Amino acid sequence: MTPSVTLSIDSPDATLANAGGKGVNLVKMARAGLPVPPGFIVATDAYRQFVAANDLQPFIVIALADTNSDDPVALETASAAIRGRFAAAPLPPDLSTAILDAYRALTTDDRSPVTDHLPVAVRSSATAEDLPDMSFAGQQDTFLNVVGDAALLKAVRDCWSSLWTARAIAYRARNGIDQASVALAVVVQAMVESEASGVLFTANPLTGRRGETVIDATLGLGEALVSGQVEPDQYVVDSVAGRIVERRLGAKALAIRGQAGGGTVTVENDAAGVQALPDGAILELARLGKRVERDLYDGAPQDIEWAWAGGRLYLLQARAITSLYPLPAGLAARPLHVLFSVNHMQGMLDPFTPLGQDFLIEAFLAIGRLAGKDFTAASQRDVLIAGGRIYADITPGLRHDLARRLVVRIPGVIEPGSEQALFSVLDDPDLQPDRSGLSPAALRTLARLASIVGRRAVLAMRDPVSQRDAVVRELDLFIANATRRAAATTTLAQRLALWQTLYDEFAFGLALKLLPLLVAGMMSFYQLRRLARRELGSDLLTLEIARGLPHNVTTEMDLTLWTVAQVIRDDPASAARFGAEDAAALAEDFRAGRLPLPAQVALTAFMDRYGMRGLAEIDLGRPRWREDPAHVIGVLQSYLGIDDPQQAPDVVFRRGARVAEAAIEELVQAMPSAAEAGLARLFASRMRALAGMRETPKFTIVRMMGVVRAMLLRSGEDLVVAGVLARPTTSSSFIWRSWRRWPRPGLMGSKFQPARSETGQSEKLETCQCVRLERTG
């Protein structure tokens, strides 16, 4: 018999491979001196010996062959066949002896030897359960109040068999776990005759607050709670302050208790007014939970089963809470922070690629430099990453007396659903203003920016057309110049340096010229709404004035694409192909230059202007339309399906513009004096001339991203040529995992230089060492 067939509950040799997830977690707690009931573990080697001795593995493979994991009937059939074989298979004598020897070597809490009549709890512990990213909770069986040698051996075998329940088979299949690789350990512990028991969460599973511990408690054994048979008490503890902040007593209408001779019995209770766990034990349990989380799992929130008997607490198992949304690295549970989702603001629910994360953080740093802030990507804490999504920490604004008044309005304007969530936490003590006024440096920065923006906004109000056209020309010149400079770069170092330079040129130059136009346009719209509310009692008419708004780059793009659709419709060969083939095939032919000439030329012209755009385009790591034009071609096919001339995009746009003009006249006529009528007409004309520019900053940034992405793809191609990177299936699958290890000029106060390798390899190889590249599917 190998020594690893059984392990003590505090064995230093316990691993996930030999003790399973539940077992290794219990060993961690026992070795840390936490109150774990005495016991031992029947290691996975025992399971494998049992399976081998009874030749079960070939049967398992055959039973699962071609079983559809989405077919409940097929899963149940396979499970019943496998478990039937387990039930009929005897334990080899040496395995039985080893298990019973470990049982008799057990001692109780008072160090009394165990007799063969002492009740034990027998729990399954699979090698693929209670993991940080998959809990497998409830997939295998547990047997409580097992009494006697024969009952113990049967419970062990039944635990092994439960590795093959239909639920467990399906769960492993969904999570991509090899069915042939799994094994099961069994945890045997002295039975705790619980007066109360339940589950503890070291983070609030409903709100996600890491500073709260939530405890569910019922009377008797915890099986009634975990199986959903009882409404438990619930206690919420402020883990930082160490006090109970909420308690709700459940009905606890039944309890499960052990009975003499083994097994359990369910009894009815009249305990709605009885608190299952006293206050002192609640606080002690909360402290134990945070100790498990902090000392054993590096602060990862835990789901812990516990029991209370004879005035003592016991911890029965611990597993990671896998349903919580992750927090940004280094963000403590207290004080409370409010993070606003940039993803939602952009209508993008998927995670950002690593490259996209870096790009937006660097953009934020460029804005910070404009405001006089001096920090780096590593030191800043205003833009945070969690779960691949990007969040802006608005907590400093909420804690500033003046800024709070503005900050509380922003979520409702950008993403209305977030306003209610924000107001639900505004009364939290951690979010109360503790600062007022501005520092001299901040006042100087604001005064400088206000002077620049204010002066240019006045110019825009005086002559909106010339001011707008001048800025648009500068933007086009900026992109043309950036494209030319990018084409001249030959190394990754040069390309990253240009990337940083483009950031600063946009933030310090063009952004300050765009902002006054937006201020003038939106201020004019605000004044129109004010006049409408005063004279008409409602500002709904101003929404009509905003229809068919010119100078909106997204609208202009849609109208340009509609023009391309008309070119295709007017050419029989192009129309035939777009009507018969799918978008992916047409996209491939467009990239190869094989479309009919009118379609090829028209679509090429569109891509020259808009090809740097794409789905989730604010993420630099996402493909652009010029790399994969299938989406654009799909929209063209949709446009070609429009048969009603009145639904054509250009007709709809012109109709909206006419409605807007009529609404302006209606508002002007409602003014009580000629002077106010003149004001209404002035504000309407400025709003129509400038408010459409609101999309231009993002469009310019996306155009700049197109230049940057093209440079990075060229560097990826260089690595392929150098033989240090395999060619991916598409050019867009070159993704720069991280470039934070490179110093950037102006950002970290150092001159940009590529990192040097100790061996003096070529720059291309050094590049591969300094910037990790990954292929994405």
- Render pLDDT for 700-721 as a digit per residue (tens, 0 to 9): 999 999 999 999 999 888 887 7
769 in any annotated domain: no
Is 24 domain-assigned? yes
**Rounded CA gap, 426 and 432, in Å?**
8
Distance CA 777, CA 119 (A): 54
Question: Does the model's pTM come out above 0.75?
Answer: no
- DSSP letters, 608-644, are HHHTT--TTTTSTTSPPTTT-THHHHHHHHHHHT---
Q: What secondary structure does DSSP assign to 364-384, as a single string?
A: HHHHHHHTT----TTT--SEE
242 shares its domain with 260: yes
Mean pLDDT of 354-367: 84
Contacts within 8 Å (CB) and 24+ apart, 650-654 = 650/559, 650/562, 653/548, 653/555, 653/559, 654/548
Within a domain: 406: yes
Residues 21 and 130 in one domain: yes
**Domain co-membership, 347 together with 418:** yes
Residues 6+ positions from 28 with CB-CB distance below 8 Å: 296, 318
Domain end (from 515, 539, 565): 515
Task: Verify that 393 and 408 share a domain, yes or no.
Answer: yes
Q: pLDDT by residue (tens digit) across 447-472?
A: 888 888 899 999 999 999 999 999 99
Is residue 472 domain-resident? yes
pLDDT, one tens digit per residue, over 478-517 is 999 999 999 999 998 899 899 889 988 888 788 889 999 9
Q: What is the CATH number of the domain that holds 24?
A: 3.30.1490.20
- Domain end: 157, 190, 223, which one? 190
Instruction: Determine the straight-line distance between the first and last CA of the chain, rounded to whole angstroms.
Output: 48
235 with 279, same domain: the answer is yes
Assess whether 2 and 107 both reside in one domain.
Answer: yes
Does any domain span residue 758? no
Domain total of the chain = 4
In a shared domain, residues 184 and 218: no
Q: Are 219 and 271 in contact (CB under 8 A)?
A: yes
Q: Which two tokens stand for residue 607?
A: 């891509």
CA distance 218 to 236: 15
Residue type at position 10: D
In a domain, residue 713? The reply is no
Residues whose CB is less than 8 angstroms from the CB of residue 148 and which lie 6 or more positions away in sequence, other chains included:
116, 117, 262
- Can you tell me the distance from the alpha carbon of 656 to that of 617, in angstroms, rounded to the nearest whole number? 27
Residues 169 and 71 in one domain: yes
Q: Are residues 186 and 197 in the same domain?
A: no
In a domain, 747, yes or no: no
Q: Does residue 745 surpass a pLDDT of 50?
A: no
Q: Tell me if 756 is assigned to some domain.
A: no
The highest-confidence range among 316-325, 437-446, 746-755, by mean pLDDT, is 316-325
Residue 734 to residue 377: CA distance in whole angstroms: 23
At 757, is the pLDDT very low, low, confident or very high (cuts 50, 70, 90)?
Answer: very low
Q: Residue 43 sits in which domain range?
A: 1-190
Report whether 191 contacts 145 (CB < 8 A). Answer: yes
Question: Of 584, 466, 452, nearest to 519 (Cα)?
Answer: 452
What proportion of the chain, given as a percentage, has pLDDT over 70?
Answer: 89
